[in-house]
């Protein structure tokens, strides 16, 4: 059911500091602008790699859902992995039928790439928070 790994989500207390790591330590040359996703309570910045992306996420606002993660992991850390699927609703239905817990009541939301996404609870995925996203238009 899953296709390409689209990105790895990395929570950080400072996107600015994390960008320095990916740029200066690892030599990443293509790094996008930082933008706010108010409804999700995060600042987002993509580090572009030849075959994937790192999605840097920093809390936006006091009620950001990643604040709790950063309390447990003050330096930040790997937060989720995101795979592309052909049909987000079919993927959601298949997962629910297999007993998985899909966050947000199973309702897809528009993610940082502008396409619908869902998250599968880590308790059903060996401790890994899994994001599934509709494959972006025109990408194969
Ligand atoms: Co993501």
Concatenated DSSP letters of 85-127: ES-HHHHHHHHHHTTPPBTGGG--EE-TTSSEEEEE-GGGTTT
b/e per residue 125-135 (b: at least 16 CB within 10 A): beeebbbbbbb
pTM as predicted: 0.94
Over the stretch 33-62, which tens digit does the pLDDT of each residue have?
A: 999 999 889 999 999 999 999 999 999 999
Q: Ligand 1 center to residue 70 CA distance, Å?
A: 16
Q: Among residues 55, 58, 84, 131, which one is catalytic?
A: 131
Residues in the chain: 140
- Count of CB atoms within 10 A of residue 28's CB? 15
Q: Ligand 1 center to residue 97 CA distance, Å?
A: 23
Q: Ligand 1 center to residue 25 CA distance, Å?
A: 23
Over the stretch 113-125, which tens digit does the pLDDT of each residue have?
A: 999 999 999 999 9
Band of residue 139 on the pLDDT scale cut at 50, 70, 90:
low
Over the stretch 5-18, which tens digit does the pLDDT of each residue have?
A: 999 999 999 999 99
pLDDT attached to residue 140: 55
CATH architecture of the region 5-134: Roll (3.10)
If phi > 0 it is left, if psi is from -120 to 50 it is alpha, else beta; for residue 99 that is left
Catalytic residue flag (residue 55): no
Q: Ligand 1 center to residue 104 CA distance, Å?
A: 15
Q: What percent of the chain has a predicted confidence (pLDDT) above 90?
A: 92
């Amino acid at each position: 059911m899953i296709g390409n790994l689209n990105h790895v989500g990395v929570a950080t207390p400072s996107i600015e500091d994390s960008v320095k790591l990916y740029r200066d330590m690892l030599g990443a040359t293509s790094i996008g602008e930082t933008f706010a996703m108010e409804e999700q309570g995060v600042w987002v910045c993509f580090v572009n790699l030849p075959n994937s992306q790192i999605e840097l996420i920093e809390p936006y606002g006091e009620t950001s859902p990643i604040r709790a993660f950063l309390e447990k992991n003050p330096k930040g850390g790997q937060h989720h992995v995101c795979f592309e699927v052909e049909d987000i609703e079919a993927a959601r239905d298949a997962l629910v039928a297999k007993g998985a817990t899909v966050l947000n009541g199973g309702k897809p939301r528009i993610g940082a790439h502008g396409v619908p996404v869902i998250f599968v609870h880590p308790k059903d995925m060996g401790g890994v928070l899994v994001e599934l996203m509709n494959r972006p238009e025109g990408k194969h």
